Structure 1
Amino acid sequence: MPAFQLRLAAFSAAVAVLGATSSGALAQKKYDTGATDTEIKIGNIMPYSGPASAYGVIGSTEAAYFKKINAEGGINGRKINFVSYDDAYSPPKTVEQARKLVESDEVLFIFNPLGTPPNSAIQKYMNTKKVPQLFVATGATKWNDPKEFPWTMGWQPNYQSESRIYAKYILKEKPNAKIAVLYQNDDYGKDYLKGLKDGLGAKAASMIIVEESYETSEPSIDGHIVKLKSLNADVFFNVTTPKFAAQAIKKMAEIEWKPLHFLNNVSSSIGSVMKPAGFEASQNIISSNYLKDTSDPQWKNDAGMNAFDEFLTKYFPEGNRVDASVMYAYTVTQGLVHVLKACGDDLTRENVMKQAASIKGLELGGLLPGIKVNTSATDFAPISQLQLMKFKGEKWDLFGDIISGDVGG
């Protein structure tokens, strides 16, 4: 071959190599620990045992949803490896499980770990390690602090916003109310109490006649309910987790205490609270929601609800359809799938947080119409809207408008 042809061939080969490397650089795959060409390893911590075990179904639903995702080919061709551990709602155990997931299982991030005290116990650790603590399953207000804790993000409307919505309703409908509050003695309970006080403003001191706390280690809260009735309160704000919420509703019926009863959203599940407490005892309780209620016939022909039912039939037939925690888990997992799809081939922890903080107007099938997911680099509260609802017969009836959680104090 003549020299000039050899040079031309060599030049063409060099151009081809250059082209391949530059286009390769453009589409370069980036991974942190926990992600590869074939897999995304996700950690999770749930109270499968202990005082908040009613929430364990959230982890089981998420595992089933990832099974569906994997059966459909995964996310951008990668299968999900979901590693979920029990912490029995005990913060020291949560710390142990978080370390195990990050340091020995080497997950990319921890998704939807449950409970305010458990998440509070690992927040500094996760942020020091720069591992996302993503879409935590608790509405504490402190998860929306991107400046101090850029690796922690909430999901559901925060507790203070929810309480302010109840306060607004009380001020309008019962301005001379005598309010009794029962709350769990931890950050979760105190957050709700703060929101109520902020919402009532100057009237809080005269309207709230008792603030009664309980410990999760107590087997029963019956004694607290008897005490609150004796103080003649005509409004009761019930800030309890499912097991204790059902106990409170039952005991109130037994001793015939009938105040205007507000129940925090985290315990509004028909399957794990209202039904065990007794439908008759649960009448006229007021709560709020941002998710569709699976037992409400108005969603019978709704596309989002039909998709949810198909998922249950195929991947989670043992799931209790009327347990609100199942719909919650289904929806938050869809939110995560949206984030991971947006990450493309850049599966670094930094990009996971970047995409989670760039959600605009996301509508998910399980959310009430009009409620959308929105985040930004300065706003780590994905959902901040709610609608009030009242328990009638065997279901919740929505009433009023969709209210933004950013309610003025």
Structure 2
Amino acid sequence: MMKRMLLMLSTVGILSGCAGEQMDVVKLDYMPEQWNVGDLYANQMDADSETWSTAILGACTGEPLTQIEGDVTVFNSYAVNRKVMISDYDPSSYKLVTFLKGKENYTICYDGDYSNMKLGKIDELPDFLDLSAGIEVPNVPKMKAGTKEEEEVAEQSDPSEYLGMPINLFKDTMVHLTSPLNGAIALTVGDQDGIFPISTIEPYNAQMGTAKIALGYNDKLEAAHFYFETTNGTTSIQPFLVWDEKDSAHVPIQFEGLKVERVLQTDTLEPGVKTPLYIFSYMKNGKRVKEEVSLTYTKGEFATNESIKESTEAGLIANPSVPRGPFFFLHKKPLDVEATLNYPDTLRAAGTDMSDLMNAFKEAEPVDRAGEVGDYPFLTIIDGWKGQEFQLSFKKRSKKVDVYVTDETRNQTFKLSSAGAETFFSYFPDLNE
């Protein structure tokens, strides 16, 4: 008798525990089939690249870091953008992610929401990365003088002219520059601000490697030019520009009888330190004058919780890449098809405030069976980078219609309450009850 009573009490306890267990209806997750994945440095993508989107979308979603200490190895950068699946939805959401390794594994992300990139930490680098193709990047810019042999090769390169006019390189002006992860390099000549060939530094530019930079001169225009060459051999000639307050633009400047001396005395550009690079000697008002050309490196800043909050509160996110959600859609076909769905094959929940509809879903109860599928068998929620798809079904009663949603990934059906069903139909007035 005692054993039977204990068994009954145990059974009641188990059943009570099950009855009290809550099951979340809305469980948003990354949906790889909704995204295109692009490699910034590859002309062709792997056939399985769509499956990489989960790792890319999930990057930088934790606590943001402010800096990485020490040198790092930078791997590929990938961009994801949402496919144009529904005509009544702006799919302009995109995300750019760079993977890198230092003392730990990191990701740097840009999604257009904020002016600063986000830096995050990850446990492991994804399997799709080619770890043999990493580029070592220093903590601050590194510089060293080029050789005479390199200058002779540059002199014979294809872009040794500008706008059809020859550019003669000055001897002993070539330098090698290896950029850090991010930041900016400002150039000054005397008291004027100019533009250095590498002025803005971004993590996804790391594949450029170490650049070769030298100075050239056009005798006819009396204008200086930069010679610029990347690690892969891509070369270009860029005019030497300075800021003109009157025109509010960078403009070319003349240096009559220009002579150049390289005066670089350091192998790094330390943050905030004005570093002499060249001495310009030229004729001005009939006299020869000298001016120093200097570089100043400013270390880049990554987004913090404070800066994100300030940007949001100040309304500085004018064109966010991730449309504010959530959005609810009913559709006749799955969203992983090639063709874009148009009205009336897809219906979008009316209005801009989805809170009541979301609450109707969150308050739905798990049930054992679904209703009958109608003209719109699919319901999809899209909220930022994530989403969730349900099978939609109904059961008509004498005075109302019950609404069911089935999450097929969990093989679980939920029934909206009577009030929730009324809310649902109020958001989809085109849906024939």
- The TM-score by the shorter chain falls in which range? under 0.3
TM-score, normalised with respect to structure 1: 0.21
Structure with more of its chain in helix, by fraction: 1
The structure with the largest alpha-carbon Rg is: 2
TM-score, normalised with respect to structure 2: 0.20
Structure with more of its chain in strand, by fraction: 2
